[in-house]
């Protein structure tokens, strides 16, 4: 006899959380573990953001707000979409939720019927398939190989769409691969989608501001404006402003979908916390110089990791184009034998070996739907990253083929 609903039977807890838990357990035995499992910026949020929230909370009462978010915050979001992405949205096309994650959750709850297919180009963000399954959706996960820059191609997209496809999820820069799409690449995908009017598009642009080598970020909405009436552009303040714990995400999209998402929100958490919405407004409207400083730091760390990994023959890594992860290929390690005589059968075993032998916590590619890889987060100091790459190199050198 269980008290757990059957809809949870196929849903897994977050893989990156599980890795961090394993790292914590090892660290509790006194071992010095470097945890590169979780992805959250290691900077403090810019001071004016926290100040705005604290001042407001000490000055006035903090009450429930509209489920879609305060009009003030939605105005700041509309201005952001106009200024940074060239997109025009009315306030009733904008929703605010407790993180981009809750935005996605609300959107799926509002739109997915049992058996609908959710197209998730792999490697994908770990939560997408699990959320899809919660609502009876069926994840379809075409592999986007390293040789194709981990990008979905028009051919693979066309071959993956069926009459049951409800959503295509795009995520750029990608967690875990860092892949970014050019305007032309997005338009080529848009041309395929134009032929399939039943497909909604969710463009997760939460890493928009963490983009390297002088690339310009192009929102899917801006590249394919003819698809805007079925596109949900998702973003949030977690990554750009180092505000993960404030829990503010937002989206813009078709009015009927946004309205349905507001209904979901009003019957669950009511609204995002009022001070957090004030902080998010300050983030979007205030000075943006620290966003560039964070990005420059992430780019230096990316360079350092790419350089370090290039010195380990058995591993592969093309420079990630954005976000703060390195998705490292480990095909040459599969079948290798550890000093204790274990054969590494897959990337789960590789990640476990790196933790046990190198004391570095990384997430296996299996969690992102594309193997054999492991993901490390580069959201930590340069010294820690240098030490982590050195440890990975040492552990790999102990393996026998």
Rounded to the nearest whole angstrom, what is the least distance from the CB of residue 102 to ligand PLP in the complex?
Answer: 7
With beta carbons less than 8 A apart as the criterion, state whether 235 and 250 touch.
Answer: yes
Pick the piece of the chain touching ligand PLP (CB under 6 A) from 78-86, 94-102, 195-203, 270-278: 94-102
Residue choice 37, 41, 123, 249 for contact with ligand PLP (CB under 6 A): 249
Pick the piece of the chain touching ligand PLP (CB under 6 A) from 2-10, 42-50, 93-101, 311-319: 93-101
Pick the piece of the chain touching ligand PLP (CB under 6 A) from 97-105, 147-155, 287-295, 387-395: 97-105
Q: Which is nearer to ligand PLP, 103 or 222 (CB)?
A: 103
Pick the piece of the chain touching ligand PLP (CB under 6 A) from 236-244, 341-349, 350-358, 386-394: 236-244
Residue choice 37, 69, 99, 137 for contact with ligand PLP (CB under 6 A): 99
In DSSP notation, 98-143 reads SHHHHHHHHHHHHHPPTT-EEE-PBS--THHHHHHHHTT-EEE--B
Residue choice 244, 265, 273, 277 for contact with ligand PLP (CB under 6 A): 244
Q: Is 208 in the site for ligand PLP (CB under 6 A)?
A: no
Residue choice 20, 93, 171, 371 for contact with ligand PLP (CB under 6 A): 171
Q: Please give the backbone phi and psi of residue 308, each rounded to the nearest 5 degrees, phi first.
A: -65, -45
State CA 165 to chain mean position distance: 22
Q: Is 369 in the site for ligand PLP (CB under 6 A)?
A: no
Pick the piece of the chain touching ligand PLP (CB under 6 A) from 18-26, 99-107, 269-277, 340-348: 99-107
Q: Which is nearer to ligand PLP, 245 or 335 (CB)?
A: 245
Q: Which string of x and - marks every residue 8-47 that binds ligand PLP (by CB under 6 A)?
A: -------------------------------x--------
Rounded to the nearest whole angstrom, what is the least distance from the CB of residue 327 to ligand PLP in the complex?
Answer: 13
Residue 294's contacts (CB-CB under 8 Å, 6 or more residues apart) are 41, 43, 209, 210, 240, 242
Tokens representing residue 380 in the block: 């930590």
Which residue reads 């009733």 in tokens?
92
Residue choice 67, 70, 160, 175 for contact with ligand PLP (CB under 6 A): 175
Element (H, E) at 167: strand 165-171
Element (H, E) at 394: helix 382-397
Residue 90's contacts (CB-CB under 8 Å, 6 or more residues apart) are 78, 255
Tokens representing residue 44 in the block: 């403090």
Rounded to the nearest whole angstrom, what is the least distance from the CB of residue 203 to ligand PLP in the complex?
Answer: 11
Give the helix ranges, DSSP H, for 29-70.
47-59
CA distance 391 to 48: 39
Rounded to the nearest whole angstrom, what is the least distance from the CB of residue 41 to ligand PLP in the complex?
Answer: 11
**First vs last C-alpha separation in the chain:** 47
Give the largest Cα separation in the chain, rounded: 66
Number of residues that bind ligand PLP (CB under 6 A): 13
With beta carbons less than 8 A apart as the criterion, state whether 302 and 378 touch.
Answer: yes
Q: CA-CA-CA-CA torsion for 363, 364, 366, 371, nearest 10 degrees?
A: 130
Q: What is the contact surface with ligand PLP in residues (CB under 6 A)?
A: 39, 99-101, 125, 171, 175, 204, 206, 236, 238, 244, 249
């Amino acid at each position: 006899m269980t008290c757990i609903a059957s809809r949870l039977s196929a849903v897994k807890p977050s893989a990156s959380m599980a890795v961090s838990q394993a790292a914590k357990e090892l660290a509790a035995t006194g071992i010095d573990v470097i945890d590169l499992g979780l992805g959250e910026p290691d900077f403090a949020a810019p001071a004016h953001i926290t100040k705005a929230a604290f001042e407001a909370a000490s000055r006035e009462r903090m009450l429930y707000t509209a489920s879609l978010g305060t009009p003030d915050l939605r105005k700041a979001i509309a201005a952001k979409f106009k200024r940074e992405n060239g997109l025009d949205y009315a306030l009733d096309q904008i929703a605010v939720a407790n993180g981009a994650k809750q935005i996605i959750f609300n959107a799926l709850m509002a739109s997915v019927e049992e058996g609908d297919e959710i197209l998730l180009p792999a490697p994908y963000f770990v939560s997408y398939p699990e959320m899809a399954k919660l609502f009876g959706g069926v994840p379809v996960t075409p592999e986007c190989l390293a040789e194709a820059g981990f990008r979905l191609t028009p051919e693979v997209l066309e071959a993956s769409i069926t009459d049951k496809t409800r959503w295509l999820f795009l995520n750029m820069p990608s967690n875990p691969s860092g892949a970014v799409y050019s305007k032309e690449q997005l338009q080529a995908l848009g041309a395929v989608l134009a032929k399939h009017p039943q497909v909604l598009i969710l463009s997760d642009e939460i890493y928009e501001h963490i983009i390297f080598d002088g690339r310009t970020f192009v929102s899917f909405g801006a590249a394919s404006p003819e698809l805007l009436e079925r596109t949900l552009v998702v973003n949030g303040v977690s990554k750009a402003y180092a505000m993960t714990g404030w829990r503010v995400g937002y989206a813009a999209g078709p009015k009927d979908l946004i309205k349905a998402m507001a209904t979901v929100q009003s019957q669950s958490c009511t609204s995002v916390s009022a001070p957090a919405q004030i902080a998010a407004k300050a983030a979007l409207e205030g000075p943006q110089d620290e966003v560039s400083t964070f990005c420059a730091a992430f780019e230096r760390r990316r360079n350092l990791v790419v350089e370090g990994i290039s010195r380990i023959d058995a591993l592969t890594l093309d420079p990630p184009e954005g976000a703060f992860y390195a998705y490292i290929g480990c095909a040459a390690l599969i079948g290798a034998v550890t000093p204790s005589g274990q054969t590494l059968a897959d990337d789960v075993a590789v990640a476990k070996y790196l933790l046990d032998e190198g004391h570095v916590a990384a997430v296996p590619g299996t969690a992102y739907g594309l193997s054999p890889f492991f993901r490390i987060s580069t959201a930590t100091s340069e010294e820690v990253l240098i030490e982590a790459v050195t440890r990975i190199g040492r552990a790999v050198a102990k393996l026998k083929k």
